[in-house]
Amino acid sequence: MHEIHQLLRSHRSIRQFTDKPVSDELVADIVKTGLTAATSSNLQATTVIRVRDEKTRGVISEVGGGQTQIVDAPVFIVWCADLHRTRLACEMAGGSMTSGMTEQFIIATVDVSLAAQNAVIAAEAEGLGICYIGAIRNDPQVVTDLLELPDDVYPVFGMCLGYPDQDPEVKPRLPLDVVFKEERYEDGRDQDRIASYDEEMRQYYRTRTGGTKESSWSEEMAGLVGGERRPHMREFLARRGFELR
């Protein structure tokens, strides 16, 4: 197995970091590497904002449900989908941007996600740990105001970076034959395979928490999608210029 495969398969979310600083040069290099990811039609719809201010981080931590790593991590950055810059480019070329198209929203969000994951790989190759913070979307307007984001820009997720001060196990993933299919979507045996995976996840949580957590993947998914989740996002995105038509 090539070493890059081993690196990718060893990914864990890191929530505890040492006090060792991460140099500005390394942070810039990680972001630069991230931005070399594939981008639809060269849209390059990613903007990355580093947040150093303790008060700003504190407010974002409150938005994120009190996740202390947002405050404690040596580096905290916010990844934004940015069509504001695209609008400027259209105007510079003597044209205008048609706002609110669903396809624009999709490609901008995908662009950000690809760039961020590229950056994660670069960071982990340097011995850093990362933790994505999707919970900034609990109240994206607060984050938008703090970062003074213009119209046509929205915060997709945050990211903590630093040298790990913990060594958690790698979380098991669904069996390959549940998600990798040949020719067509065939799910005749998926329930049995997911049931086996549920038991694997139960054991993972028992080990990770010393027996204080009993849960399976299926139970977690029922909680995740079994009701409305962040319904404010639709109205928020419309206000940002992503009306989705």
Residues 67 and 37 in one domain: yes
User: Per-residue pLDDT tens for 154-190?
Assistant: 999 999 999 999 999 999 999 999 999 999 999 999 9
Residues 195 and 76 in one domain: no
Residues 198 and 156 in one domain: no
Q: What are phi and psi of 82, to 5 degrees?
A: -125, 105
Residues 10 and 89 in one domain: yes
pLDDT of residue 119: 98
Q: What does the block give as tokens for 46?
A: 């990613």
- Is residue 214 situated within a structural domain? no
pTM of the model: 0.95
Residues 147 and 55 in one domain: yes
Q: How many domains does the chain have?
A: 2
- Is residue 196 situated within a structural domain? yes
CA 75/CA 23 separation, integer angstroms: 10
> Which among 44, 71, 233, 70 is positioned nearest to 159, based on CA atoms?
70
Range of the domain at 181: 176-209
Residues 22 and 102 in one domain: yes
Residues 180 and 150 in one domain: no
- With pLDDT > 70 as the criterion, what percentage of the chain qualifies? 100
pLDDT of residue 99: 85
Q: Decide if pLDDT at 243 tops 90.
A: no
What confidence category does residue 143 fall into, taking pLDDT thresholds of 50, 70 and 90? very high
User: Per-residue pLDDT tens for 50-69?
Assistant: 999 999 999 999 999 999 99
User: Per-residue pLDDT tens for 158-168?
Assistant: 999 999 999 99
Residues 31 and 146 in one domain: yes
The residue with tokens 């048609």 is: 98
- Is residue 219 situated within a structural domain? no
> Which among 157, 159, 161, 160 is positioned nearest to 128, based on CA atoms?
161
